[in-house]
Amino acid sequence: MQQAVIFHPAAQILVWVLLVAAIQAQLPVVLLVTTVLVVLCALRWAKQKFIQLLSRTRWVMMSLLLIYAYSTPGDSLLSALGMFDPSREGLSEGMLQLARLIDALAGLAILLERMQHKQLIAGLYTLFIPLQWLGFSRERFAVRLALTLQYAELEMLRSRGNWQEAFNNLFGEAHTGQKPADRMLELPLIPFVARDGLLIGGALLLLWLAQK
């Protein structure tokens, strides 16, 4: 069930971006505490969504850990393994990067659980105001994103979780040349209020503290 939107969607998306930026500069001990707290929040408020994201990125996480473990020079971990011996420094750095990725996924799970597709698109629509200064159309971006999310969700349901089949069906339809039926995309108009500013200000403060 979707949560009621208390803060502006754009503010929530921006806070998630700032969270991802802040964890890049955190010390290992602080990062560990942050990971535990964010994961606990995700398990409390977006358990199913978080587990889905972890499942879909499990090979990425495993690859990330192996790349750091075997490509970073350092002291030997188990010399008996010979050429298959990872370095201590590489394994340590890989674990830190894995924690950062889990943090980002946990925050994203909470974000997606709290907002419907239209609210998410409305938030991105607001954040991409600078695109207009470059001559791009925010409206076209919002419509394409809405259609992509809708088709992706329908194909995942039709394919019963088989992401490869869903991917092929989704882009197979895109290459048929058929245009979707005319429809109107209505985005919720949510004004910025003081609490949105406080939320963003708090996130910026955490980012500043993370740089210390």
* DSSP symbol at 76: B
Locate 7 and state its tokens. 């803060």
Residue 175 has pLDDT above 50, yes or no: no
CA dihedral angle for residue 39, residue 45, residue 47, residue 49, rounded to 10 degrees: -100
Based on C-alpha coordinates, what's the Rg of the chain?
21
Give the pLDDT of residue 168: 54
Burial of 115 (0-12, 13-18, 19+ CB in 10 A): buried
- Arithmetic mean of pLDDT, 124-141: 81
Classify burial at 15, counting beta carbons within 10 Å of its beta carbon; exposed 0-12, middle 13-18, buried 19 or more.
buried
**For position 158, what pLDDT does the model report?**
56
What percent of the chain has pLDDT above 90? 30
| 170 vs 136, residue with greater confidence | 136
- Residue 17 near residue 119, CB atoms below 8 Å: no
CA dist 35 and 137 (Å) reads: 37
How far is 23 from 200, CA to CA, in rounded Å? 16
What is the arithmetic mean of pLDDT over 187-192?
76
Give the pLDDT band (50/70/90) at residue 45.
very high
Longest dimension (CA), the chain: 65
CA distance 211 to 99: 18
Regarding predicted confidence, which is higher, 205 or 149?
Answer: 205
**How do the domains of the chain map onto residue ranges?**
7-115+192-212, 117-181
In which band, very low, low, confident or very high, does the pLDDT at 73 lie, cut at 50, 70 and 90? Answer: confident
Residue whose entry in the numeric block shows the structure tokens 């925050």: 107
**Average pLDDT estimate for 17-46:** 92
pLDDT of res. 5 = 58
Average confidence (pLDDT) over 127-155: 73
Tens of pLDDT, residue by residue over 88-131, are 898 999 999 999 999 999 999 998 888 887 888 888 888 888 87
pLDDT at site 184: 64
